[in-house]
Amino acid sequence: MGFKDLFKKKEVADDNINVTEDKVEEKAEAIKAQEEKTEAKPEQKEEVKEEEKPPVQEAKPQPKAAPSKMIPDERKKEIAQLVFKKKIEESDLEPLNIQETIFLLVNVDHFNEESEEGVENYEEKCEVIDHVLAKKLADAEVLYMTFDAGTNFPYITQGCVEIYSELEYAQDAVRHYGEQYRAVQICEVRKDDSRFPDKMSVFEFLYYLGMEHLLIDNGKFKTVVNREDVLAITNKNLEYQIDKPIENPKLRYALIEFFQEVKWPVTYDKRDEVIHEKEERMLAELKKAKFLVPMLFDGEEVTKAQNQVAPQPGKNMILPKLETQEHVCFTPIFTDWTEFVKIYPKDKWNGLVITFDEATTLCKDMGIVINPAGENLIMNQQSFEALRSREKNQNK
């Protein structure tokens, strides 16, 4: 029995798209996206509390899809002229939308690659276009993402998450994914109406999930943008300092990626090896992580300014427990405060900071559940024993 059999998670299908991370692959006007007009299969959705759902739009089957918005040929010619300017200014790019900006970037790459003399001031032009594109993404009133129906988190494809500038582009992706037996939904992201935890922007939300690479307009003229270029996070706590909020972006990414692959209902060559590799990455991150456990010191009230605390010898602690329908109890632990507050208010509970090894010994004969309102990774005593045996074998 593999470790994946010990990690219980909700059963739903998931999805992928054929992609490369190289923005040079789109060869200027020689490339015209071919949209397939096939049906996407309707998907089953789980019952989730309304406040915990991302703003998803269900992917419905569309037998006769209208052609998605494409850049007219005349407009392409206008934009392509910018390639040959000695210097591209930010003001030159203001009239362009996101897809047109990517088209220009693709053309700069194409002509630099194909022409003998290359593109004049190539590096500077790419830098300006990249900067403006990141700003357009940050300022966009509405964007669209693909969410995996099984994990209820952004779908990961080749190390990236997808963002679309037009609804039609996202709908094309959903149709494509349906053909691969992957259940994907469209998440509408509005700048002025965030439904992510603490009303944070989607780019901050992706930071906590460890999703650092954004694939923009996959299936059309596409490019990869670093999340950090769109929104820099200045208060990171990757060293688990007690006076800063605990976060585990690498672990969350590994969890989501693992479950996404496990629940894809297909077979392919080396599937077991792929799952094993993702499983190993997840287990490695679990061992390195620190977690938050809801806790009250017996007889004491929560101190709002200091509710992330270290264990204190000699003080009795009160820990909550969650019970399944089968009346099996687990101790809830959390990777960060964005998941913690979905269930336990910060003004009523402390967050006890512990390691994974400490979490496995919190309560005798009781397992743990990591992010019960999110990834919902359940580990029981059998899981702990399997991990200990694995470590012993590795150390021989």
- Does some domain include residue 235? no
Residues 275 and 133 placed together within one structural domain of the fold? no
Q: Show Cβ contacts of residue 312 under 8 Å, excluding neighbours closer than 6 positions.
A: 297
- Does some domain include residue 76? yes
- Does some domain include residue 350? yes
Confidence of residue 290 (pLDDT cuts 50, 70, 90): very high
**Tell me: the pLDDT tens digits for 79-95?**
999 999 999 999 999 99
Confidence of residue 194 (pLDDT cuts 50, 70, 90): confident
Residues 119 and 199 placed together within one structural domain of the fold? yes
Q: Which residue has the tokens 């590994």?
A: 254
- Does some domain include residue 121? yes
Residue pair 294/318 in contact (Cβ under 8 Å)? The answer is no
Per-residue confidence (pLDDT) for residue 393, from 0 to 100: 79
- Does some domain include residue 109? yes
Closest CA to 213 of 173, 270, 156: 156
- Does some domain include residue 9? no
Q: How many CA atoms lie within 13 A of 196 on its CB side?
A: 21
Residues 195 and 303 placed together within one structural domain of the fold? no
Compute CA distances 124 → 16, 57, 133, 156, 230, whole Å. Answer: 34, 39, 14, 31, 19
Give the pLDDT mean for 61-85.
79
Q: Show Cβ contacts of residue 396 under 8 Å, excluding neighbours closer than 6 positions.
A: none
Domain holding 283, by residue range, is 249-395
- Does some domain include residue 242? no
- Does some domain include residue 215? yes
Residues 156 and 23 placed together within one structural domain of the fold? yes
Q: What pTM, to 2 d.p., does this model score? A: 0.80
Residues 254 and 221 placed together within one structural domain of the fold? no
| Burial per residue of 165-196, b for 16 or more beta-carbon CB atoms within 10 angstroms, e otherwise | bbbbbbbbbbbbbbeeebbbbbbbbeeeebbb
Residues 253 and 226 placed together within one structural domain of the fold? no
Residues 158 and 29 placed together within one structural domain of the fold? yes
Confidence of residue 26 (pLDDT cuts 50, 70, 90): very low
Residue pair 32/62 in contact (Cβ under 8 Å)? The answer is no
Residues 207 and 290 placed together within one structural domain of the fold? no
Confidence of residue 395 (pLDDT cuts 50, 70, 90): confident
Q: Which of 195-204, 216-225, 279-288, 299-308 has the lowest mean pLDDT?
A: 299-308
